[in-house]
Structure 1
Amino acid sequence: MAGDKAESSGDDKKNKIDTSSPYYIHPSDYPKQMQVNDALNDSNYGEWKQEMMNFLLAKNKMGFVDGTIKKPDAKSSLNFAWTRADAMIKGWITTAMEREIRTSVRYANTSSEIWRDLEERFEKEGAPRAYELKQTLNALWQGGASVSTYYTKLRTAWDELQTVLPNPRCTCEGCHCGIGKQLNEVKEKERSYEFLMGLDDDFSVVRTQILAMKPTPSLRTIYHLVAESEQQ
Structure 2
Amino acid sequence: MAGDKPTGSGKETNGETIDVNSPYYIHPYDYPEQKQVNDVLNDQNYNEWKQEMTNFLLAKNKMGLVDGTIEKPGAGSPMSLAWVRADAMIKKWLTTAMEQEIRTSVRYAKTSSEIWRDLEERFEKEGSP
Shorter chain as normaliser: what TM range? 0.7 to 0.9
Give runs of aligned pairs for residues 110-189 of structure 1, distance below 5 A: 110-128=111-129
AA partner of residue 93 (structure 1): L
Distance 1:12 1:94, change over 3 A: closer
* Aligned residue in 1 for 2:48: 47
| Residue 31 of structure 1, CA deviation | 1.2
In structure 2, the partner of 1:3 is none
What is the aligned partner in structure 2 of residue 214 from structure 1?
Answer: none
- Report matched runs for 1:12-161 at 5 Å: 15-128=16-129
Matched residue SS, 1:17 = strand
Which has the bigger relative contact order, CA under 8 A and spacing at least 6? 2
Which blocks of at least 5 consecutive residues in structure 1 are unaligned?
Answer: 1-10, 129-232
Q: Normalising by structure 1, report the TM-score.
A: 0.49
Distance 1:99 1:16, change over 3 A: same
TM-score (norm 2): 0.87
Deviations 1:32-64 (A, max 9, x none): 222100000000000000000000000000001
> Residue 209 of structure 1 corresponds to which residue in structure 2?
none
Following TM superposition, by how much is the alpha carbon of 1:126 offset from its aligned partner in structure 2, in angstroms? 2.2
Instruction: Give unpaired runs (5+ residues) of structure 2.
Output: 1-11
Compared with structure 1, are the counterparts of its residues 44 and 13 closer, same or farther at alpha carbon in structure 2 (3 Å cutoff)?
Answer: closer
After the TM superposition, list the runs of 4 or more consecutive aligned residues in structure 1 that deviate by more than 2 angstroms.
11-14
Number of aligned residues = 118
- CA shift, 1:12, in A, is 6.6
Letter in 2 for 1:42: D
The letter for the 2-side match of 1:47 is: E
SS in 2 for 1:27: coil
Q: Which has the higher strand share?
A: 2
RMSD: 1.5
Structure 2 CA distance for aligned equivalents of residues 95 and 49 of structure 1: 14
Whose helix proportion is higher, 1 or 2?
Answer: 1
Sequence identity (%): 75
